[in-house]
Amino acid sequence: MSLNYKIIVGIGLMVSLSQASAQVDAEAGKALSESKRCVRCHKMDEKGTGPSVREIAGKYKGVAGAQAAVLGRMRAGSKGIWGDKAMTAVNKDVTDEDLKAIVSWMLAPR
Ligand code: HEC
């Protein structure tokens, strides 16, 4: 096996592994949105107390820096972006890591 060939196979493997882990993160984010009760206000398709997950994904699709901005608002609480209902700050029993997984699942293009 030539060195080039090994490098190409190696890169291919890395790409498929990172795709697999993106998949796992997405699944974890979805499960966490249920266990952390985000789903009480955020349904997939219908508007509830909060915007639907599909609406959130649509609004931020292709917007640079959206994830960081949204994450900041999750900790601070948010009002006025979607209407006059407020979302209270996401509290500390949702770790930064879990919140990131949920938000990246919510913002994933769909
Ligand atoms: C009691 C209802 C309620 C719960 C529970 C709730 N949200 Fe929200 N959420 C809202 C409302 C209302 C808004 C709209 C706030 C606004 O207009 O600024 C919102 C907005 C959002 C947005 C869009 C923010 C933006 O900057 O556009 C995201 C993302 C979000 N919520 C994620 C979450 C996550 C993650 C959880 C669980 C940890 C959660 N929400 C739990 C009511 C809720």
Segment 65-99, tens digit of pLDDT: 999 999 999 999 999 999 999 999 998 889 999 99
Q: Residue 30 and residue 23: Cα distance in Å, rounded?
A: 11
Q: Whose CA is nearest to atom 40 of ligand 1?
A: 38
Q: Which long-range contacts (CB under 8 A, 24 or more apart) does 70-78 make?
A: 70/103, 70/107, 71/99, 71/100, 71/103, 74/99, 74/103, 75/99
CB 53 near ligand 1, within 6 Å: no
More confident residue, 37 or 14: 37
CB 94 near ligand 1, within 6 Å: yes
Calculate mean pLDDT across residues 12-41: 84
CB 48 near ligand 1, within 6 Å: no
